[in-house]
Chain A
Amino acid sequence: DQQVKQNSPSLSVQEGRISILNCDYTNSMFDYFLWYKKYPAEGPTFLISISSIKDKNEDGRFTVFLNKSAKHLSLHIVPSQPGDSAVYFCAASDTGNQFYFGTGTSLTVIP
């Protein structure tokens, strides 16, 4: 049972435009959310996180929005750059020791 879902397997965006990656979850006990970026043949690297006490967190070009009532979070990348082309995973934790990952969205930023 997939508790964290990324329904868009892929996304293509023009350089300079906004990339919006979406993530939905089913477990209302999740209270800590993360986004990871993964290049081929490498391990995921942490990008940005948000706790359930916030609805927005910004770090440079990356902003994560959390809508708890909808059980939905999104990652905005503005402006998108070719180096952002990678697979993006969202993950969630329920204050336990486990993280649950989505299936990933492959972002391609077209120069």
Chain B
Amino acid sequence: NAGVTQTPKFRILKIGQSMTLQCTQDMNHNYMYWYRQDPGMGLKLIYYSVGAGITDKGEVPNGYNVSRSTTEDFPLRLELAAPSQTSVYFCASSYSVWDLQETQYFGPGTRLLVL
């Protein structure tokens, strides 16, 4: 199992550009999440999905969009990139949030710099 994979690892964007951060998991997990981590801060939830075709907003959704057409993939779209979106983005997945033996498995992160 590759677990959770994210691409790209690092990207520089100019203000106003758009990009899609890719996330794929091969564990057949229902739940998928996108977080951002700013320097010296904890992870903030951007969007999450409880299954294919179902997404919902987290704490900090503004400036982002997501889709979940398959169980495996959960891309995050940035439209009109702004310097405030400079951050490290983590994708995660879990089977469920109810099973005490389960938790979130994280990808290695995508470092994004908006200039």
Q: Chain A residues in contact with chain B, CB under 8 A? A: 2, 4, 6, 9, 32, 34, 36, 41-46, 49, 51, 89, 91, 93, 95-104
Contact residues in B for A43 (Cβ distance below 8 Å): 4, 90, 92, 106-109
Q: Tell whether, in the assembled complex, residue A103 and residue B90 are in contact, meaning their CB atoms are under 8 Å apart.
A: no
User: What total count of A-B pairs have CB within 8 Å?
Assistant: 60
Q: Please classify how large the interface on chain B is, using the bins under 10, 10 to 19, 20 to 34, 35 or more.
A: 20 to 34
14 extra interface residue pairs, beta carbon distance < 8 Å, beyond A44-B43, A45-B106, A96-B97: A6-B42, A32-B97, A32-B100, A34-B103, A44-B90, A44-B106, A89-B43, A91-B43, A97-B31, A97-B48, A98-B58, A99-B104, A101-B44, A103-B41
The chain A residue with its CB closest to the CB of B43 is: A101
- Contact partners of A41 in chain B: CB under 8 A: 108-109
Cβ contacts under 8 Å, B58 to chain A:
98
Chain A residues closer than 8 Å to B59, beta-carbon distance: 98, 100
